[in-house]
Amino acid sequence: MPVASAPHHASAGNLAAVPEPLAGNGLTVPVLVAPEVARAQSGGAPVVALESTLLAHGLPRPGNLEVARRIEAVVRACGAVPATIAVLDGVVRVGLDDAALERVCAEQGLSKLGVRDLPVALALGRSGATTVSSTALLATRAGIAVFATGGLGGVHRGGGYDESADLRALAELSLVVVCAGVKSILDVEATLERLESSSVTLLGYRTDRFPGFYLNDSGFGLDWRVETAAEVADVFALGRALGDGAVVVANPLPEPEQVEPALHDRV
Q: Is 183 among the residues known to form the active site? A: yes
Residues 92 and 90: their CA atoms lie apart, in Å, by 7
* Contact (CB, 8 A) for 75 and 48: yes
3-class secondary structure, 33: strand
Confirm whether 112 is a catalytic residue: no
The catalytically annotated residue of 20, 36, 51, 72 is 51
**CA 29 to CA 91: how far, in whole Å?**
8
Measured CA to CA, the distance from residue 14 to residue 230 in angstroms comes to: 9
Amino acid at 257: E
Beta bridge partners of residue 147, listed in sequence order: 49, 177
Give φ, ψ of 260 to 5 degrees.
Answer: -60, 120
Amino acid letter for position 38: A
Catalytic residues: 51, 183
